[in-house]
Amino acid sequence: MTTPYLARNVESDAVRPAFANWLSSTNDLTSRFVAAERVPGLINIAGGLPAPETFPVEELAALSQAVVREFPRDSLGYGPTDGLVELRDAIASRFSTQSLRLDRSNVLITAGGTQALDLIGKVLLEAGGVVAGEFPMYAGALDAWRPRQPRYHCLRAEAGDLDLSSAKAQFVYAVPNFSNPTGKLVGLAARRALVDAAHRTGVWIVEDDPYGSLYYDETPLPRLIELSADLAPGEAYRGPVVYLGTFSKELVPGLRVAWAIGSPDIIQALTTAKQSAALCSNGMAQRIALAAMRGGLTERMRPKLLGLYRERRDALAAAMDEHLSDWFEWDVPVGGMFIWATARDRSLDTDAVVSAGLKTGVLVAPGRVFDPQGEDRSGLRLNFTLNPPDRLDEAVRRLGAAMRLLYEQVA
């Protein structure tokens, strides 16, 4: 007989303690990536990884030593839950503008933007609540909120479809700079309309901006939080936008240092949630990140990083023109890390493309995992930052071979 705390394990028919329900609907992308790592010679253009050759190894090695010696308590002891005060001040001053007035009460440090997304789910989402945003949507955000089992409402900001009140959304999730997976840049008019709608209806906007420093061809557009501050200039920021930034793409992801900027009340709520999740952030990593900021390391890295990624984006786009245009269409993004290709045959399930790619030696990310409703399976995400141009060309040639395999099997 089972007690309420036990469930029957179907495979072995033994009585086993049960897991929470939401675990039965996780995405299998990460485990597929891990399995693919073991395939010899496979080229991975599926992930969203920075190029390791951009990592400032010597500078960070020197800073690591220096911060432990100079700040042993901050580096090695427990620290404040909301983050190192000097780092919060530095982030507040970096993002302040004439109308966006920030101080440390507007800033929370998190372990990557990923932790911030998790905390957002904890403080803004009721079980079964509604998240509004553009589809396809970042798979990591869907994963972060899955324990709340939310429903999703599709917004089309560019098309003026921004009816926040009838959506009854608890917040809007937006990645205006080079969305993951689509690489799309949201234009200025749509940004303004989205911010206006949030101010009118009192709905939070979560502005997730890991790619904001990766503009290759154009000057950066204003952030949503800046446009929001323009609506009430001169006051300490109290608006509905929560801005998430990270050092992952402009410095290194391994530090796991990121930040949330918002009104003091939401920063406090997020801090309360963080207390039970992490107690405090990694002090050594925060000290290193602060020293890197103060020493101008990210600024010094930027030109090389942008040059490298621009060249790789162009190489991927050229290879796609040559090998994929019979089957897919895409826009070349002006920033970020991805090209999003949609199948001309909208009934194509790109899971089959991923399986065929594993046979020809390339790993790509299937559209299904970015669609919260699981309806559109015809997209494919291709990353251009990790591999050099010759590997990108070979990867896309293999993808073309995979497509031929697939359609020969169908015919």
- Report CA-CA distances (Å) from 266 to 3, 95, 213, 298: 40, 17, 25, 28
Q: Which is nearer to ligand PMP, 246 or 271 (CB)?
A: 246
* Residue given tokens 């007989």 in the structure block: 1
Q: Which is nearer to ligand PMP, 84 or 289 (CB)?
A: 289
Please say whether the beta carbons of 174 and 129 come within 8 A. Answer: no
What are 60-67's contacts with CB under 8 Å, separation 24+?
Answer: 60/252, 60/288, 60/292, 63/288, 63/291, 63/292, 63/295, 64/284, 64/288, 66/291, 67/284, 67/287, 67/288, 67/291
Q: Which is nearer to ligand PMP, 170 or 177 (CB)?
A: 177
What's the min distance (Å) between Cβ of 249 and ligand PMP?
7
| Spatial distance between the Cα atoms of 273 and 251, rounded to a whole number of angstroms | 27
- Report CA-CA distances (Å) from 82 to 146, 259, 315, 357: 25, 10, 42, 44
Q: Which is nearer to ligand PMP, 336 or 357 (CB)?
A: 336
Binds ligand PMP by CB under 6 A, chosen from 32, 43, 44, 48? 48
- Binding region for ligand PMP (CB under 6 A) out of 108-116, 146-154, 288-296, 360-368: 108-116
Between the two ends of the chain, the Cα-to-Cα distance in Å is 53
Binds ligand PMP by CB under 6 A, chosen from 79, 150, 210, 400? 210
Over the window 211 to 250, marking each residue x when it contacts ligand PMP by CB under 6 A and - when it does not, the resulting string is -----------------------------------x-x--
Query: Length of the chain, please?
Result: 411
Q: Does 180 bind ligand PMP (CB under 6 A)?
A: yes
Binds ligand PMP by CB under 6 A, chosen from 164, 203, 214, 258? 258
What's the min distance (Å) between Cβ of 144 and ligand PMP?
9
Binds ligand PMP by CB under 6 A, chosen from 75, 114, 281, 360? 114
Residue 307 burial (C-beta neighbours within 10 Å; 0-12, 13-18, 19+): exposed
Q: Does 175 bind ligand PMP (CB under 6 A)?
A: yes
How many helices (H) and strands (E) the chain has is answered by: 14, 15
Q: Does 112 bind ligand PMP (CB under 6 A)?
A: yes
- Binding region for ligand PMP (CB under 6 A) out of 15-23, 106-114, 151-159, 215-223: 106-114
Q: Which is nearer to ligand PMP, 170 or 383 (CB)?
A: 383
| Spatial distance between the Cα atoms of 385 and 368, rounded to a whole number of angstroms | 22
Helix H or strand E segment including 268: helix 264-278
Q: For residue 255, what are its two tokens?
A: 């530090």
Binds ligand PMP by CB under 6 A, chosen from 80, 129, 147, 253? 253
Q: Does 181 bind ligand PMP (CB under 6 A)?
A: no
Please say whether the beta carbons of 122 and 357 come within 8 A. Answer: no
What's the min distance (Å) between Cβ of 309 and ligand PMP?
14
Binds ligand PMP by CB under 6 A, chosen from 50, 79, 83, 113? 113
* Residue given tokens 């220096």 in the structure block: 66
What's the min distance (Å) between Cβ of 180 and ligand PMP?
4
**Interface residues with ligand PMP (CB under 6 A)?**
48, 112-114, 138, 140, 175, 180, 208, 210, 246, 248, 253, 258
